[in-house]
Amino acid sequence: MERVLFVCTGNRARSQMAEGLLRHLASDRYEVFSAGTEPKGLARTSVAVMAEIGIDISQQWSKSLDEFAGQSFDYVITVCDNAKEQCPVFPAKTQLLHWSVADPAAAEARGESVEEAFRAARDDLHKRIAEFIATAD
């Protein structure tokens, strides 16, 4: 079983949703984790928008990237630009991928609805994860 780690800054939204999505879609093929470079706690809005599509991430929690030091992963996927810059070095066999997903927590600053921004991030991640699963075959 391949191991996948999703990384963002706060481990509040994007990486948490990605963890839940990949686990829901392909838990038979992947062992899935998420972490943050500066964990801030799981956002309630992340839980709510995932529940809208029938995925329960309410039992997930915000984890520090430090908790995974020394572990090996087949894929490390950063889902925000800050995390990409701060992501530590992983062994050469680890495939590093970067998906630049808009930060839903910054929605109000962009003049957007917070809920709609979380849904947009969820849907973007869903599309990318479906493509990831299809191409990893």
Radius of gyration of the chain (CA): 14
Rounded Cα distance, 71 and 3, in Å: 10
Helix (H) or strand (E) holding 110: none
- Which residue in 80, 117, 125, 129 is the catalytic one? 80
Q: What backbone torsions phi and psi does residue 6 show, to the nearest 5 degrees?
A: -95, 135
- Which residue in 18, 42, 49, 87 is the catalytic one? 87
Tokens read off for 110: 């962009």
What burial class does residue 122 get, using C-beta atoms within 10 Å of its C-beta: 0-12 exposed, 13-18 middle, 19+ buried? buried
For the question of residue 87 being annotated catalytic, the response is yes
- Which residue in 4, 8, 49, 50 is the catalytic one? 8
Question: Under a CB-based contact definition with an 8 Å cutoff, are residues 83 and 37 in contact?
Answer: yes
For the question of residue 80 being annotated catalytic, the response is yes
Q: Would you name the residues annotated as active-site residues?
A: 8, 80, 87
